[in-house]
Structure 1
Amino acid sequence: MNHYRENAMAWGALIIAMLIWSSSFVASKFVLVDFTPEQAVGIRLLLAAAATLPWLLIWGREPIKRMRAEHWKWLIIMSLFEPCLYFLAEMNGLLYTSASAAGLVTSTLPIWIAIGAWLLLKERLSRNLIIGLGLALSGTLTMTALGEANVAAPNPLLGNALMVVATLMAAGYVLVAKRLTAELSPWLVTVLQIWVGAVFFVPFLLLNPPDLSTPSTTAWQAMVWLGLVVSIGAYGLYNLGISQVPAQVAGLSVNLLPLFTLVLAAVILGERLNVGEMAGAMLILIGILVAVWPTRVAQSPSK
């Protein structure tokens, strides 16, 4: 009974994390009106670091003392994947592509996680996963090639390419985070990755300091949402989820990302995909379903 309850809690955490994560693509569009990508990420992570400082001082000191050198090594590697390199690619990508397209490209994450497990852990790649990868990549190329430049996506080719890079960084993050959260508290890992990211982006802010008086109220509201709700809430819930289920199973929750993103982008930003982009989106979603179907079947009996 406890096993089922833990799995239910893990999936609840992962689903909420995906809903919050999908909102980050929309919120970032508002932030990027008044900030450069590096400024946006730097301020976002500094807000998150400041908000988590009391937790770190009161509850985090003893767990940190018990961390070994091996833990710190993997924490730095994980944090370089995400938030550092992931956010650099994602925020620059969102300058050039739509929030809807960004969510769709990012939804290929489960496939890249499986490929990472094949390369690093020597896990076998199924035929369905290879076919699914081909379909998903074809969908990304179709959506990019047939995407029309507009205000929301001035350069879909560049933007979607950067989102692919961001997704590769996210795959590396998930693989390492799964290892870390097996031994460390998911919330400790979340807080420490925020601080590593904040330190990483401080030089960007010093080299190009933002004018904090000019951004709109909407931009600041979106920034606070990204810093407090997404950086702390979404990552904390995701780390909690992947600490209780296998990494590839946790990756299945990313299938909800394009649905949540498309709805939020349509309602809040008024984004719409053209016919060619819709065709590419369908290829991506079909590719994901084909790729993860064996995993779904294999995992069902243990639920």
Structure 2
Amino acid sequence: MSDYAQVRSEGTLLPTLAVLAAVLLWGSSFAAMKHLVGILDPWAVMWLRTGIATLALTPVAGRLAAPVRIGGDRRVLALMALFMPCLYFFFESHALMFTSASQAGLISASLPLMVAAGAGFMFGERTSSRGWTGLALSMVGVAVLTLTGEATLSASNPVLGNLLELAAMVSAAGYMLLVKRLSASYGPWTITAVQNAVGAVFFLPGLYLLIRDGLGPEPWSLLLIAAYLGAFVTLGAFGLYNVAISKLPAGRASVFINLVPAVAAFFGWVILGETLTPMQMLASGIIFLGVWLAQRGSD
């Protein structure tokens, strides 16, 4: 290995490990979220997530986060926070009321291709014709997965739920592209602090719902799950991803999200006992074929 290649490899190792850890945390969150929205209103769940994340970050925010400058950056930061966590969490928490954690996780396989397409427009990251074909094929797989969904105990209305999850992925793609732009001016923890503070305000009606309805029959168990989602997923995973995307190309960082469906399906099976129908397994194969084809197109 040349000296340049060794330096480059060492320079990308930590960001790569950071995005890998973020993806594993995201994959585990689908089953946890599915459990919580079965007990609490989605707004209450999302306020707990963003509120706990903000509370965890507050003691160290002064050392990790820098002030936001006046000007156009504030509008871009506001748009980023609208995409994530506001719209993303809104769509995903409601999606998991109607579809299974496994199906929602599989739809997330379309996210890297959305990011790659957007990165081509915003940053000039090249997407080949094979990459566009992979994007189209992946979206066909998402459509088949959605339209062949059958109502079950864990997925009462999979068509509606999967469409809401697809809207969440569009929001996530917008967030990732804006973070890539903002990372040139702000550190990852500044971006993370803005996200969580805006999310805690946006989902504030959830606090009223928590006070009105309570925490259900097992409050401590629920709070532990919410603490995991808030501190480790909402704060930790997004912080790690923001660190990674400040050092890696947007398209390359998003490739690791291909692991989310497998992790989500695993936890959905182990924790919730979810399964996929043969047609949904075929649709899943189409999604992964599209992702593989798109990645071959970017080699």
TM interval, shorter chain, is over 0.9
C-alpha displacement at 1:248, in angstroms?
0.6
Question: What SS is found at the alignment partner of 2:19?
Answer: helix
C-alpha contact (below 8 Å) 2:131/2:294 kept by paired residues: yes
Which residue number in structure 1 is paired with residue 138 of structure 2? 136
Q: How many Å separate the matches in 2 of 1:9 and 1:121? A: 23
Q: Which amino acid aligns with 1:196?
A: V
Which moved further from structure 2: 198-207 or 227-236?
198-207
Q: How many Å separate the matches in 2 of 1:256 and 1:209? A: 37
Which residue number in structure 2 is paired with residue 116 of structure 1? 118
Percent of aligned positions with the same letter in both sequences?
Answer: 37
Which residue number in structure 2 is paired with residue 202 of structure 1? 204
- Cα offsets for 1:55-109 (capped at 9, x unmatched): 12x4157x216x3423322211100000000000000001111111111101211
What is the count of residue pairs matched by the alignment? 293
- Cα offsets for 1:209-263 (capped at 9, x unmatched): 5423425243222111111110111001101111101001111111111111111
C-alpha contact (below 8 Å) 2:44/2:205 kept by paired residues: no
Q: Which amino acid aligns with 2:193?
A: V
Which residue number in structure 1 is paired with residue 63 of structure 2? 59
Q: How many Å separate the matches in 2 of 1:271 and 1:154? A: 13
Q: How many Å separate the matches in 2 of 1:215 and 1:91? A: 21
- Cα offsets for 1:276-301 (capped at 9, x unmatched): 11011000111111112222x2xxxx
TM-score by length of 2: 0.92
Q: Provide the aligned C-alpha RMSD in A.
A: 1.8
Within 5 Å, which residues of 2 pair with 1:33-182?
33-56=38-61, 58-60=62-64, 63-64=66-67, 67-121=69-123, 125-182=127-184
1:268–1:125 Cα change, 3 Å: same
Q: How many Å separate the matches in 1 of 2:110 and 2:168? A: 11
Q: Runs of 5+ in structure 1 lacking a partner? A: 298-303
Which residue number in structure 1 is paired with residue 275 of structure 2? 272
Question: What SS is found at the alignment partner of 1:102?
Answer: helix
Question: What SS is found at the alignment partner of 1:95?
Answer: helix
Which residue number in structure 2 is paired with residue 301 of structure 1? none
C-alpha displacement at 1:118, in angstroms?
4.1
Question: What SS is found at the alignment partner of 1:64?
Answer: coil
- Is 1:221–2:244 an aligned residue pair? no
C-alpha contact (below 8 Å) 1:111/1:288 kept by paired residues: yes
C-alpha contact (below 8 Å) 2:85/2:195 kept by paired residues: yes
Which residue number in structure 1 is paired with residue 19 of structure 2? 14
Q: Which amino acid aligns with 1:250?
A: A
Q: How many Å separate the matches in 2 of 1:91 and 1:279? A: 26
TM-score by length of 1: 0.91
Which moved further from structure 2: 181-190 or 235-244?
181-190
Q: How many Å separate the matches in 1 of 2:51 and 2:276? A: 34
- Cα offsets for 1:164-186 (capped at 9, x unmatched): 10000000000000111222111
1:38–1:289 Cα change, 3 Å: same
Q: Which amino acid aligns with 1:273?
A: L
Question: What SS is found at the alignment partner of 2:20?
Answer: helix
Q: Runs of 5+ in structure 2 lacking a partner? A: 1-5
